Structure 1
Amino acid sequence: MNAVLYRVEDRPPAPMTLILAVQHLLAALGGIIAVPLVLASALHLDSPSTIALVNAALLGSGIVTIIQCKGVGPIGIRLPCVMGTSFTFVGAGISVGMEHGVAGILGSSMAASLIMIAGSFFMPTIRKFFPHTVTGVVVAMIGLSLTPVAVDWAAQGMGGQAYGDLSSLAVAGFVLALVIAFVQWGRGIVSASAIVLGILIGYAVCVLLGVVDFAPVRQAPVFALPKPLFFGVSFPVSGIAAMALAYLVTIVETTGTFMALGVATGVDISGKALSRGILCDGIGSAAAALISSPPVSTFAQNVGVVTLTGVASRHVVALTGVLLVLAGLFPVLGALVVTIPQPVLGGAGLMMFAMIIAAGVRMLGKAADSRRSSLIVAVSIGCGLAVTMRPNLLAQMPDFIREIFGSGITVGAMAAVLLNALLPGQEREPVHEEFPVPENAEAVERSSC
């Protein structure tokens, strides 16, 4: 991992802040847009409805990102945390939407978010189940689960006829080499913005080669106002139950992501900090439903950006939230980012996600060297990878089982927590002091000086 160039409370110069914020935007935007597009396709929505859903997702993600980074009273973890629509909710969302439409998805999400809001108050207790060994497993599983995504990007998308095309792999390899070079030999802003520089150069090369499709830019509206309750809301009991399961899974995944973010930023994540972050996820998802957005959660891929670049400033990522809001209001901006070829994103993504794995390995290296720890690590990562690499493993299981255990991160985390609790000689986690959080703008200024 790079040394931390900018700590959580640091404020880089304005031009650098903008470049670094764009870097996080490029890492997150594709994932944020993908969820509403998948839902729209599955539910056969018309073009205006699809545009409204995408715009709402960008707007909701941006607003909750700002709150998560800056904090509002007891809400928000106040770390460089990008929020976005989550694939954890796609399965439940499609099943609810098929019967009750988008209104059922939004209403179910709003009602079921109470699970996450209530769960936030138990995070100080839950934090005790995450000593070094368990946290290391979860951080490593986040990287291991995301790496196949980057590989598919590099190979031009799973399922396509061009998958593994040599030219696509060459572009991805070129971008990967650029990012490595910028991180290793760059200084200052070059090293800190290695990802955005690699993507921009790779994108420019693809434009020169004539492989960039600008149709999304031509088709996207320049400006679009948000449309609260555009689809309406309804509260089917079956839909609320399905979404509640997805929120339970999200609590586990988000806890792991926050722990990984703590490693990347050099901040000890206390139970109170987890409570503020999870509370923001829950309230943010409920508020997002009011503006017609699917539920939001913490984006693990942006932890890779922090890990790789050493830029841990929450103020940088808060600006990313502002850019997401602008992308929601000016869809043409988001459409321009969507034109970046997948192999370009794959080259940068492979580096980002692999760095998360490295962070997890370093954490495991600090854990106790014992047969007990080895068992926890081996079984947990093995179970997590089984689901990640062979998702059809659960194909014959009931829907609620697939909903809970469909994520390798969740399976790995649950296995590690369970083994750590059951095996004799439970690892003791040192007591962490609550990291200081400014209570007002003046305190922020003082702490950043």
Structure 2
Amino acid sequence: MAKQDSTIDLVFGLDDKPRFSVSVFAALQHVLASFIGIITPTLIVGGVLGLGSEVPYLVSMALIVSGIGTFIQARRIGPIGSGLLCVQGTSFAFLSSILAAGFIVKGNGGGPDEILSTIFGVCFLAAFVEIFISRFIDKLRRIITPVVTGTIITLIGLSLIKVSMTDIAGGVNAPDLGAPVNLALAGVVLITIVIFNRFQIHMLRLSAVIIGLTLGFVVAWSIGKVDFSGLDELSLIAIPVPFKYGFSFDFAAFMPIAIIYMITALETTGDLTANSMVSRQPVDGPVYIRRIKAGVLADGVNSAIASTLNSLPMTTFSQNNGVIQLTGVASRHVAIFIAAILALLGLFPIIGGILQQMPKPVLGGATLIMFGTVAMAGVKIIAEAGLNRRNMLITAISIGMGLGVAGVPEVLSAMPQGLKNIIGSPLTIGALSAIILNFLLPQNMDVAPETAAEPAETAEKSESSEAEKRSMPRAAVSRPANS
């Protein structure tokens, strides 16, 4: 049974109201810890799918909906929201599925508007999968076990490594693909992140990625690889327009995204549990279960809002739990200030415009570590579930299927196009494989056949032992005083 961490010294508890200066300072640290995580998925999708001039607006929407989602999650509106100091942000877990959806539309001749129309339409409808799951999230773990979750998360990270390496080389169809200067820029970012992760100062470790990207950006600008000439064409203010690009649906794109919503629901459960622990809140019992259900429901609702306002699906960030431990401020009222700062940043497209100019190698240097970390998080979950024969078989087959289809897509060339679009996604075929194998393979397959007779022998020994105990003096079978 999980327990609260009594070693955490809180200055302000969950329902305390810190003074204005304390709230703003704590909020700024949360924004700093989550800022790169919020905007990077949008920058990757925009760059890989060639969305061009739409990227600054999309970055603005990502920041605005993160502010809205953070407010809903912490403030609690009716049954929606955990009531914890949680930051909502764009989820990396959806990237491979969203990119696959974009390529399906692009392959059919669609432009940026059609791509975004399909992505946001599919993500909006799939969000109701998480909304539905939130009502019985406590029972879902019996179906989607840690070995399934770990396998899928590992596959997500591994499948995205190709995106990072392409960016490190210079980007898709770059004229200087693989040039030494591109590799050097990525190396500067990588080395900076590694160095800052070695610092004992917690805030410097939290800021390692943003410091690495900033240094890489400055170096790239100094050697002429950054062009700010198009910033004067950006609008002054970004106004959210519901379904600005339209609303389309594609079932082949829907399936993998719906599966990821199921997985992120379980991830959110873990993040909210960790947040409850650092906030000195219950981590078992009816209050805890209600909080988890309300938090996962908020994740689904916030993702639906994000799709409506032209942004990618959202999830509860985990890095902010470290900020709570660092500052000692767990007050959910701080979320109001976090939401205000994020929304204010999102109102100005120039922020997205500047970030869009970040050279691909600089971004790739950071995302290589991010995606590698995602994969290792999945490996850690698998290891904690136990590396027995059954779990290794599930993991090996599922990851093999996913990476195999990604590496040799021709293996499905004889299948109907509709089916190929669905199972042609590494994530879909890997996830389905893990779920089906976990359901079919017996839990006791690691037990050797010769041990089948042991229960009878054990029972006989137990009965004999009990008979001996009954025949002994009472003091002889009592627990020793020093045990």
Return the TM-score normalized by structure 2: 0.67
| Structure 2 counterpart of 1:83, one-letter code | T
Matches within 5 A, 1:68-83: 68=73, 71-76=76-81, 79-83=86-90
Displacement of 1:125 in angstroms is 2.9
Select which of 242, 259, 263 maps to 1:249. 259
Supply the RMSD in Å over aligned alpha carbons. 4.6
Distance in 1, Cα, partners of 2:9 & 2:187: 28
Select which of 338, 358, 367 maps to 1:349. 367
Select which of 170, 181, 201 maps to 2:195. 181
Displacement of 1:250 in angstroms is 3.5
1:196 and 2:210 are equivalent in the alignment: yes
Displacement of 1:354 in angstroms is 2.1
| Structure 2 counterpart of 1:192, one-letter code | L
Aligned to 1:280: 298
Matches within 5 A, 1:221-370: 221-228=235-242, 239=249, 245=255, 247-255=257-265, 257-258=267-268, 261=271, 275-288=293-306, 290-291=308-309, 293=310, 296-298=313-315, 322-370=340-388
Query: Which stretch shows the higher mean deviation, 196-205 or 362-371?
Result: 362-371
1:152 and 2:159 are equivalent in the alignment: no
Return the TM-score normalized by structure 1: 0.72
Displacement of 1:413 in angstroms is 3.1
Query: For residues 157 and 111 of structure 1, do their structure 2 counterparts lie closer, same or farther at Cα, with a shift above 3 Å needed?
Result: closer
Displacement of 1:176 in angstroms is 0.9
- Tell me the matched-pair count: 412
Select which of 61, 64, 68 maps to 1:63. 68
Displacement of 1:331 in angstroms is 0.6
Aligned to 2:42: 32
1:18 and 2:28 are equivalent in the alignment: yes
Distance in 1, Cα, partners of 2:364 & 2:175: 17
Query: For residues 403 and 251 of structure 1, do their structure 2 counterparts lie closer, same or farther at Cα, with a shift above 3 Å needed?
Result: farther
Confirm or deny: 8 A CA contact 1:212 1:340 kept in the other structure. Answer: yes
Matches within 5 A, 1:372-411: 372-390=390-408, 393-394=411-412, 397-398=415-416, 400-411=418-429
Distance in 1, Cα, partners of 2:335 & 2:24: 13
Query: For residues 65 and 346 of structure 1, do their structure 2 counterparts lie closer, same or farther at Cα, with a shift above 3 Å needed?
Result: farther
SS at match of 1:82: strand
Displacement of 1:165 in angstroms is 1.7
| Structure 1 counterpart of 2:241, one-letter code | K
Distance in 1, Cα, partners of 2:28 & 2:39: 16
| Structure 2 counterpart of 1:82, one-letter code | G
Confirm or deny: 8 A CA contact 1:115 1:244 kept in the other structure. Answer: no
SS at match of 2:28: helix
In structure 2, stretches of 5+ residues that fail to align are 1-6, 278-282, 446-483
Confirm or deny: 8 A CA contact 2:130 2:262 kept in the other structure. Answer: no
Distance in 1, Cα, partners of 2:320 & 2:246: 37
Aligned to 2:436: 418
Distance in 2, Cα, partners of 1:107 & 1:386: 29
Per-residue CA deviations over 1:143-190 (Å, capped at 9, x if unaligned) read 223322222222221332322221111111121111111111342322
| Structure 2 counterpart of 1:153, one-letter code | D
Query: Larger C-alpha radius of gyration, 1 or 2?
Result: 2
Query: For residues 178 and 137 of structure 1, do their structure 2 counterparts lie closer, same or farther at Cα, with a shift above 3 Å needed?
Result: same
Query: For residues 19 and 80 of structure 1, do their structure 2 counterparts lie closer, same or farther at Cα, with a shift above 3 Å needed?
Result: closer
Identity rate of aligned residues, in percent? 30
Query: For residues 40 and 119 of structure 1, do their structure 2 counterparts lie closer, same or farther at Cα, with a shift above 3 Å needed?
Result: farther
Query: For residues 84 and 110 of structure 1, do their structure 2 counterparts lie closer, same or farther at Cα, with a shift above 3 Å needed?
Result: same
Query: For residues 30 and 364 of structure 1, do their structure 2 counterparts lie closer, same or farther at Cα, with a shift above 3 Å needed?
Result: closer
Query: For residues 143 and 104 of structure 1, do their structure 2 counterparts lie closer, same or farther at Cα, with a shift above 3 Å needed?
Result: closer
Distance in 2, Cα, partners of 1:54 & 1:359: 27
SS at match of 2:198: helix
Distance in 1, Cα, partners of 2:319 & 2:197: 13
| Structure 2 counterpart of 1:59, one-letter code | I
Aligned to 2:455: none
Query: For residues 91 and 188 of structure 1, do their structure 2 counterparts lie closer, same or farther at Cα, with a shift above 3 Å needed?
Result: closer
